[in-house]
Structure 1
Amino acid sequence: MPEGHSVRRLAIQFQDVFAGRRLSVSSPQGRFAEGAALLDGRVMTHAHAHGKQLFLGFEDGLWLHVHLGLYGAWEFGGDSSFRGASSIGAPRRIGEREKFDDDGDVAYVGPPEPVGAVRVRLVSEHGWADLRGASRCDAVTGTEAEAAWSKLGPDPLHDGFEGHDGDGAEFVRRLRAKRTAVGQLLMDQGVVAGIGNIYRAEMLYRAGIDPFRPGTSLSGEEAGALWRDAVKLLADGVRDGRIITTDPGSWAGEAPADDEAFYVYQKQGRPCGRCGTPIALKEMAGRKLYWCPGCQH
């Protein structure tokens, strides 16, 4: 499942290529036909990400609310202007109708025929975006969008922005208010939005915190340090387009392999880099948890 940094990069991409443009919205698969009809022909005003939830705003106060879940993905294509200021990890392809002009450049002739179960297709004069496999895809009103936001915890990627000055304190309050294991609380989107399985394991290892400790056992200093690390790591993920939690001095080159990018994630049975204890693996609330029993207390 994409974690918060990936959804933020998607929001940036949508802002770059679609904001201010009138879009054709359709549902080739048919499952979103009614919602597509509501949004079709409207201007997309802006894109907003909160944790793992993506909200695309349209004129007249309507929103497209998408949660990718485990299998969702966006695919983009278009002409040379359809790139935006940012590059993201979402797959991009011009499509089957691609052809070249006399100068050898791609001549955009519109989106290709839909391939597979395309839930939503957004089309402007310069490009298109297709959504497949999302766990949630709804056309909602502003009131409904606000209700969805209100159920989410603070997003570390909003830290420092106007109106979010107290987000760190709110995270600390929510984390320390429950006796649930901290490893489970960090995956609870009502406690903190955007942290997934990789960030959860790596943050707790970096902090030396046992994932089975109840939230109530954490000091304010420990909880605050987790928030600050989440702010840093997710911001790095937005910048890099991938999750890297190891310190720069621990790997060679500018693009570490996944094997070098993480301390404990998917390293079960291998010795901890700090203390040599084998990294442990156990299921917690239906998700795989990785940690070091030797140095996480």
Structure 2
Amino acid sequence: MALVFTIPGKTFLAGEYLALHGGPALVFLSQPSFELEVTKGTGSRGVIHKDSPAGLFIQKHEDYFSQFDINFLDPYMGRGGFGASTAQFLAVYALWLNKEAHHQDMEKLLDFKHMLEAYYEVAWNGVGRRPSGADLVGQLKGALTFFEKRQGLISVKSWPFENLEFFLIHTGNKLATHEHLKNLADFDSSSLEKSFAVIRESFEKQQSDLFVQGVQSYAEALKDLGFTLPETLDLLTKVTALKGVKAAKGCGALGADVVLAVTAKGESQDLKDYCLQHSLSILSSSGKISSGLQVRGSL
């Protein structure tokens, strides 16, 4: 028998960097999902690196984890930007909680405040910026998760804009977020706050024009702060010029790994053709929204 933890891929639609100040973030949780397969065994960790947050958490609780063999499955095949590291941590943290209750009670045990504190202990060594954990909360909750740490607010939404769709394009670049955060100086996040407020309002009012405006504004604020790689800026210029594309921005640390492209509903063919011609992978979309952490099977 095996116990299987399924965790969605994650992308910051908005709120990267802002979340580092405890501000709001909007995380999209998508298929395909990561899986952690657990069987009774002798402590094999599979591909989980011993110095990763998940690996360090396992070491802290070695007596418990030594009775299991763990196999982590990554449908993104090592491509950065979709939350493999946080998915590993969430799965092993949930496995550790599984010792206290059957998995149908997991939601009660997975208090996000306790989860974040456990994550910070193994994901941050005190150098540079502490990761926000907003992506981790999103992978727990699923769908489109609004999370604001400083107020302890979580809201899970569905996609509200019938005349829009979006696509997540992998750039082919890869940036180690933890290394970036080590060297990140303090910054003024007020422009990001203003742009995010427009995005939040767009969801509350279900107004697609406001969402497009907010995404464009957030992308500009990231650019002005120097938080977008030159290669990503070049790609954004080309993508936004395509027919049907309403807005685009880089997602996550320096917008390195993933680009969000928002299009009018049913008008994405030029974008898809461009990606095909330039060997860019569309790895997810608004049509692949996913639930959060799921647990099945038994040991």
For the superposition of Structure 1 and Structure 2, which TM-score range results when normalised by the shorter chain?
A: under 0.3
Greater Rg over alpha carbons, structure: 1
Determine which structure has greater relative contact order: mean sequence separation of CA pairs < 8 Å that are 6+ residues apart, divided by chain length: 2
TM-score by length of 2: 0.26
Higher helix fraction (1 or 2) = 2
TM-score by length of 1: 0.26
